[in-house]
Structures are given as C-alpha cells and as structure tokens.
Structure 1
Amino acid sequence: MKVSARKRFVELSHPIRVAFGTLLGLDVVEVSLDHTGFTGRGECCPMAIYGQSASQTLAEIAKIAPAIEAGDVDRAVLQRVLPANAARNALDCAFWDLEAKVTGRTVWDIAGLARPASIPSDVTIGILSPEETFEAASSLEAPTMIKLKLGGERDIECLRAVRAARPDTPLFVDVNAGWTLERLNQLAPILADAGVSMIEQPLPPGDDALLDGYTGAVPLCADESCHDRSDLQRLQGRFAHINIKLDKTGGLTEALALAQAGREQNFGLMVGCMLATGLAIAPAYMIGSLCDVVDLDAPLIVKRPEDAGVRHDGRCLHAFERSLWG
C-alpha cells in the first residue's frame, strides 16, 4: 500500500458571502491509496472554522501513512486512531473507493444502499443586497429548493426579495452561527410567515444550550453543532434536523452510522458539503440518498467545469460515474 496526498486550491465561479466571511475558493486535500495495481481516492476540505487547515491535514495524513502502508490501519481501525475530521474523511473515502475497485463491487453494494439515478438538490444564494438577491432568485430555472444565506445587515429585506421572485419555491435559511438568541426569536415569526421550512445553525455551537429559550415555530437544523453520533444526545430537544457533512463526520463510514442513528432518534436528515469537487460530492451523494434535504450544489459554483465531476442541472444532482469514485 502506498499513501499519497496533495493540496490544491479550488476556485469559485464567483465570490460567495456567508456570515463568517466571503469565500473566493478553498484548499482541498486529495488522498490516493495505491494497492495491487488499484488506486482509491478521497478528498476533504479542511475549514478554519473547525480549527483545521490543509497543511495540518497533510501533516496528519503523513503521520499515519506508515501504519497504513504497513497494513496496520484499515478503514475500521481508522475510525479509532483518527478523530472525526477532514483528514480522516479523505482517507476513509479513499478506502471505500479502493475496496470497490479491488473487489469489483460498487460502493452502493458494499454499503447496502440502492443507487438513485438522481436526487433533488437545492441551490444556494449567498448574502447579497436585496436587489442582488432578487436578481439571483429570479435567474434560477425552476429550482427544487432554495437555501438563503442570512447573517448580514438586511436579512429580512433579502428574504422578502427571494419571496418576491420565488413565492412558491420551498425555502430554508442558513445563518452559519451568525445570530443571537434575541435576533432568532425576533426574526423567526417573520420567517414562518414567509414559509421558511427550516433555520440552519442560528447560533454558535458553544451556545446550543441557549436554544432552550427559543420561542419560534420554524424547526432548527444543527450544522456546526453536529459532527458525529456523540453529539446527538446534546442536540435532542433543541434541533429538529441534523446536517451531515463528511468533513465533520470524518468520512462516509461515520456519516452512514450518523444517518442511521439520527433517523432512529427522530431527527430529520440533511446532507451538505464544504467546497468540493466531484470526488467529495460522490460519497456525499450516497448520504443524500438517505436524506430529506440535499444541499450539494458545489458543482454549480466551482469555476473549473472539470472540478464539478457530478452533474447538477439546477433541480437535481445526478448519480456519479464509477470512473470518478466508487
């Protein structure tokens, strides 16, 4: 077994503003596992908001690489020796891909899942001016669902701009931990009146206990507050939904387990991603096949067409090819 890893910058087609800053692109780390003439690949996107960087991730991979190459660490052992983070995600997904290639089975068969030809996926609108928000919403071609980023200075005006352009399109909002409890309680009734179905991560994860004072009727979704199964007990009674991202779960293995545990504990399931190429969207697509809400629109916002990897037609994300992954 040979372990290789590299960093590269994935550029966005246009800047996207969210509550914690404006993104022009992000570093991703790609991992390759070469074994008996086969190569398994995985990708992660380390984020500073989780205290991770590409250089740190490369160092973690380099540290564990000798044990993997010696055959002492496989996918099962990996879950115990690395925390749930970006480095483990890239390695875990590479192990899945390698197993599929070595055995001649698909990742769907290995996971025991049915492969849908496509899954409905949302389209994201970042924090813009109300006028720009109206223009962005108007330009969409019959989207299945819209995710509106909030946490700016003119949240309600932007919300109303979306509804003016798309009065009937299913809509939820993502605050990226940009509000206080006071602002959440103040705005929730307005969001409810606008038909918003869900508020994603309104408060910083360290303030989860404050949500015991939430008085609104719009269900909440845990994103930054939910990494793996160990978080579920703390989220009970505060969030109705969880957002599963492989860079938070530390890979597809834990993501599948989290989806099962979340469903058993009556959470609604959502799948999301960091900035990603098709190599990371492919395993997330598998989780999307189990979810109520699919937020995998990265193929629409990467600048290089070859980075998309998986086709998103503005309404649905279409199944990945085995030549890409799995």
Structure 2
Amino acid sequence: MELTLKKYVLQLEFTFSISRESYDFQDSLIIALSQNGKTGYGEATSNPYYKITVESMMKEIEAIRSEIEAWSMEDPSEFHAFLKSKGLSNFAICALDLAANDLWGKLKGKPLYELWETDNSTYPRTNYTIGIDTVEKMVEKMQKKPWPLYKIKLGTDRDVEIVTELRKHSDAVFRIDANCAWTAEQALEYAPKLKELGVEFLEQPLKADDLEGYKKLIEGSALPVIADESCIVEEDVEKCAGYFHGINIKLTKCGGLTPALRMIKRARELDLKVMVGCMTESTVGISAIAQLIPQLDYVDMDGALLLKKDIATGVKINPDASVIFPEEAGSGVNLL
C-alpha cells in the first residue's frame, strides 16, 4: 500500500465550548492508503485532554511507514492487530484503521455496512451540538441550525436555567452532556427537572472514575445515563455494566471501526444501549461513523456540520437529520 499523511486545520462555524475548553479551530490528521488504483481515507483529530497532537500521530506512523506500506489490504482486522502490536496511540490507529476499512470496502466494491451485513433502511438520527455559551448565543445557534435533536453542552452554575430558556425556543429533543462537570447529588437533583424539559438522557455527568456516584445514578436517576469518558477502549465496556444504561463509543479513543464493532457486540450482550459519538471532524471521520448507524440506538455525528468549510465528500446529513449514504463503496469518502 501507499501511505500519505496530511495535516488540516478545520475552522468551526461557531466557537465551540465545553466544560473544560473552548476552541475555534481543530487540527486533524487525514491519512490515505492506496492500493490497486483505490484509495481509502481515515481521520483522527488532535485532543489536548488526551495529550494527542497531529504531529505526535504523524511521528508514530512515520516510524513504521515501511511496514505499513508492505501490507496488502485484505483484512482490516488483521491490519488493526498489527498496528496494536506496534504500540501506536489509539488516535493514530484510528486514522489508519478508518483508511484501511474504506480501502477494503472500495476494493470489494461495497459499502462497509453491506460488508458487515447490516441494513441501513432504519437508523437513529444524529443530534446537533450546542456548545456552552450565553443563552442568547446558544439560542442564536439553534435558530441558525434548526434541528430535530440537540445535544446541549453543560457544566455551569446555571445548567437547569439554561435548558429552561432553550426550551422556550425549540420543541426538539434535548440530550445533555456535562463532560464530567457535575456531582452525583447535582445530577440526581437536575434529572427530574431536565426530564420535564424534554431531555432524553444524560451523557457523562460525573467524573470518569466516580463509580460510587454512577451507582447512585443508575439506581435513582430520572434519566438514563450514558458513559463517554468512562468508556474509552474495549475493556471499558464490561466495566460500565451496572453503572451506566449505555455507552458512547468514540472511534478516535478506541482505535477505529475494528474495535468499535467488537464494543457494539459486547454492549449488546450486556444489555447496554449503544451510541457512537464524534469529535469535531470532517466528513472523512463522519462517513466512517455513518457505516455503523444501522447497529446503534443513538448517534452523534455532527462534527462536519459544525465546520465552516468541509474538506471531503461522503455521507450527507439532511436538515431533518436523515442521512444520504454515498454511492461509492467503503465509507464513500473522497477529498475535495
């Protein structure tokens, strides 16, 4: 295979804020793997919380370039196992794994969801994320992007007040993501009020290691609780059983589509709801997530919708949150 690496700086349409950071630009690594006239694309974004930069990922990958280029893409899972054996970060592995799966599908001439024997006639619709801001600016974002389902980022001293005000301007379903900012007592207090305001579930309200707090929530919360920061890799799925109602899988965190498929299977065995989320990424990463949606209960794949300008073609998301799957095989991605 031929390997190509390129850094992109993605500009967001609006400043994006969560409980621990704000940003207007997102660095992203795009990988291309080419074989027999076909090219597969993968993506992984930088992330200060996990101490990952595009430069650190490129350095990891360049160190084994010759070994990667010696591969012939016949089985993405075997390629993923090879990458794991080399000790790469999951973010770097994700970019390579997404490219490998896209290439594999293109070589086979079928979209990934077909190769995985799933039916895309029904699927959950993605939310659109509203970052922390003044109520006025959050309302402005909602008015500029009318959507049937919003994820609201919280983690302030006026969270219920914010949702109360936002509800006056939309009848959409709300999801709440506090990014570890609450205590168990706050979550138990807020949940009944938020449920009355049309909130569907709470995503990672407490710190990742607060298992005692999550035990209280699963026993007493008025709303379901979904793990995000508490569910990073495959081994975490088992640990979430009994503490969460479901899990949110991030491809960059777990290492790509290959482990995500195994995580979905294990979550089903444990009777956990399954969501796949995204980073602020382009249509390259979002199109990979789209191949999984027939298998999911919930999905957050609005990353490319948050950008001022995209860098690729692939899956398209309509204003009603329905999906137009690309005609091209694999993940269906091509760079602009």
TM-score, normalised by the number of residues in structure 1: 0.90
Name the structure 1 match of 2:173: 170
Is 2:111 the partner of 1:122? no
Query: Relative to 1, partners in 2 of residues 1:296 and 1:65: Cα closer, same or farther, differing over 3 Å?
Result: same
Name the structure 1 match of 2:192: 189
Deviation at 1:308, TM superposition (A): 6.7
2:197 corresponds to which letter in structure 1?
A: A
Query: Relative to 1, partners in 2 of residues 1:274 and 1:318: Cα closer, same or farther, differing over 3 Å?
Result: same
Is 2:306 the partner of 1:325? no
Is 2:207 the partner of 1:204? yes
Distance 1:118 1:318 in 2: 12
Q: Secondary structure at the match of 1:120?
A: coil
Name the structure 1 match of 2:36: 36
Does the CA-based 8 Å contact 1:26-1:45 persist in structure 2?
A: yes
Q: Which runs of 5+ in 2 are unaligned?
A: none
Deviation at 1:18, TM superposition (A): 0.9
Does the CA-based 8 Å contact 1:46-1:54 persist in structure 2?
A: yes
Distance 2:244 2:145 in 1: 30
Q: Which runs of 5+ in 1 are unaligned?
A: none
Deviation at 1:311, TM superposition (A): 2.3
Shifted more, 313-322 versus 85-94: the winner is: 313-322
Distance 1:305 1:99 in 2: 24
Query: Relative to 1, partners in 2 of residues 1:119 and 1:236: Cα closer, same or farther, differing over 3 Å?
Result: closer
1:149 corresponds to which letter in structure 2?
A: K
Deviation at 1:83, TM superposition (A): 5.7
Name the structure 2 match of 1:160: 164
Name the structure 2 match of 1:113: 118
Distance 1:264 1:232 in 2: 10
Alignment of 1:33-182 (within 5 A): 33-71=33-71, 75=76, 76-79=78-81, 80-81=84-85, 82=87, 85-116=90-121, 120-141=125-146, 143-166=147-170, 168-182=171-185
Deviation at 1:31, TM superposition (A): 1.0
Deviation at 1:127, TM superposition (A): 0.9
Does the CA-based 8 Å contact 1:145-1:170 persist in structure 2?
A: yes
Does the CA-based 8 Å contact 1:46-1:247 persist in structure 2?
A: no
Does the CA-based 8 Å contact 2:314-2:325 persist in structure 1?
A: no
Alignment of 1:247-266 (within 5 A): 247-266=252-271
2:56 corresponds to which letter in structure 1?
A: Q
Name the structure 2 match of 1:279: 284
Q: Secondary structure at the match of 1:165?
A: coil
Distance 2:37 2:275 in 1: 36
Deviation at 1:205, TM superposition (A): 1.4
String of CA shifts for 1:60-91, please: whole Å, max 9, x gaps: 21123222222399631423424661111111
String of CA shifts for 1:193-217, please: whole Å, max 9, x gaps: 3232211011221323432233322
Deviation at 1:281, TM superposition (A): 0.7
Q: Percent identity?
A: 30
TM-score, normalised by the number of residues in structure 2: 0.88
Distance 1:94 1:305 in 2: 18
1:10 corresponds to which letter in structure 2?
A: L
Does the CA-based 8 Å contact 1:245-1:284 persist in structure 2?
A: no
Distance 1:131 1:106 in 2: 42
Distance 1:104 1:308 in 2: 18
- Corresponding residue pairs, total: 324
2:309 corresponds to which letter in structure 1?
A: R
1:78 corresponds to which letter in structure 2?
A: H
Deviation at 1:109, TM superposition (A): 2.9
